[in-house]
Amino acid sequence: MPKAKAVILPAPVETVVPRGDGAESAAANSPGQAIECYPADRAFHAALARLSGGISPIALMLAYADWMSHLAAAPQRQLELAQTAALDAKRLGDAARHFFSPQHGPWSLIKPQAQDRRFARPEWELPPFNLLAQGFLQTQQWWHGATTGVRGVAKQNQAIVEFSVRQMLDVLAPSNFVATNPVVQQEAFQSGGANFVSGWQNWCGDWMRLMSGQVKPAAGHDFVVGETVAISPGKVVYRNELIELIQYAPATEKVRPEPILIVPAWIMKYYILDLSPHNSLVKHLTGQGFTVFMISWRNPGTEDRDVAFDDYRRLGVEAALDTISGIVQGRKIHALGYCLGGTLLSIAAAAMARDGDDRLKSITLLAAQTDFTEAGELTLFINESQVAFLEDMMWERGVLETTQMAGAFQLLRSNDLIWSRITRDYLMGERSPPSDLMAWNADATRLPYRMHSEYLRKLFLNNDLAAGRYLVEGKPVSLSDIHTPMFVVGTVHDHVAPWKSAYKIHFLVDADVTFLLTSGGHNTGIVAPPDEAGHSYRVRTKAVDATYVGPDEWLKTTPAVEGSWWGEWTDWLAVRSGAPSAPPSLGIGHAGEPVLPDAPGDYVRH
């Protein structure tokens, strides 16, 4: 008989995570424990990710096993849930029999929450649709009780189960179906079914755009970078392989001597802060007499798989500060960081303070986190199993694609961003009015494999920055080294960077902190032009030697102010700035240097 041939498998490799000094060490769950990564396993996980949408099935199974096993060992809790279900069914039956009596009017059993707009139209107050909506809300409330508060279940596993069950229930909401949605039925009756024809056309248009690789929604094509959005005049004054630095033209005869550097997140394009002229923070700042610089990040490709998180600090913040110092010599700089850009700015500021670099006049953080222990629902996607799964998915492609990032953010607000849009576009046959913010939101970017892996592990999983373990150039940095005055903005309805998480900056830095809590969400709360109605905020300053006040007490004792927070911040900057003087030149203009484009530059267009 012929001898059997041996099957030779590829040798395992170790996951590599860079240290701050550029050297490399094996990643570990604990010090000294290297993690072996087999290429065949990683390829299998990458293939599986295409089917699961980037969500780790193992993480879900572990969470459900934790919840179900503890619930199975809690007979009294099971009895209580059964009694609640029976009582809810009885109450719904009574409401159905006596719907028109004074005691059993619309929403007599349960009302939608204020942020739930699915059942806001008056048509939902009529039978049988009102009873369908109340039955659905009762079911949703029952499952929330069943998936939370089970003794012994790990906190994160409980959150995963509750979140995933909520997502499944949202699919079955009566507002999503023609037969159970009175608003859709009324529109169909009045239009003779024309809404379904328009909805089919909308679906076909979206499908064709998806198949052709276009990511912008239909309304998004009304907004073109450099023509209708991101049109503040200026010039690119510096470029490297990662950033273009834009210097905006002055809008006043004299300007404050201290310039402002804005560090946006590289998860999305920078022009969230320079949308249309009526809601551009850049335009507002230049109109108030400030010289403004903005980092525009290059959208990475697969060739950038090994770009590290520290490269964004070194080639981004550090390179921008060096360039500004050459243009506006001898002047300190007001630095602003938004979202992930704020986290990066905090790291850079801590490293600068450690090394005796005092170029920062003030630090402003917008919806940015420095402690990730309570980072909101986004952390549902961040545990060891999920991060390893994402790493294998990115390992194959070299980047985290825009669809994965956008999908994660949409799930956090699925009612507004997924199901309500499907109902409006495809059942009602309508389209949302064109919006510059929606167009920007669809203009997503990719994330390099190495950078994103380091970000998830060092900041989300290990919380190295808040714990003083984060390394810059081989040495740890501590936020307590920051003594520069800070202005920190949180937003009330932030699913990405919850305001109580941003509030933790109070006990991390050794500086005067002015904390402002504004209405709105992660984006709508930040883009708050002064002439736009509906904005409000609360603000209070904590001196460096003042006693710490917790976030709940702060909220109770800090009065609300109507209006935009932009004016409050520019007043704060003005107090910390010198007397206006002649504006600086646009760039340095050394002979022999390549000619750089005008704002918004080239990187933002790709």
Residues with catalytic roles: 339
DSSP 300-330: --GGGTT--HHHHIIIIIIHHHHHHHHHSTT
The two three-digit tokens of residue 76, written as one number = 């009294």
**CB neighbourhood size of 452 (10 A):** 22
Please state the φ and ψ torsions of residue 541, each to the nearest 5 degrees: -105, 135
The two three-digit tokens of residue 433, written as one number = 């009015």
Report the C-alpha gap between 231 and 401 in whole angstroms: 27
Q: Which residues have C-beta within 8 Å of that of residue 506, sequence separation ≥ 6? A: 513, 515, 542, 548, 549
The residue whose two tokens read 């009612």 is 415
End-to-end CA distance of the chain: 61
Report the C-alpha gap between 220 and 301 in whole angstroms: 23
Report the C-alpha gap between 242 and 120 in whole angstroms: 46
Beta carbons of 474 and 380 less than 8 angstroms apart? no
Coil, helix or strand at residue 62: helix
DSSP 26-59: E--SSTT---EE-HHHHHHHHHHHHHHTT--HHH
The two three-digit tokens of residue 322, written as one number = 């060096």
Q: What is the dihedral of CA 433, 434, 438, 439, to 10 degrees?
A: 160
Beta carbons of 198 and 430 less than 8 angstroms apart? yes
Query: Within 172-224, where are the H helices?
Result: 182-191, 194-211
Report the C-alpha gap between 359 and 361 in whole angstroms: 6
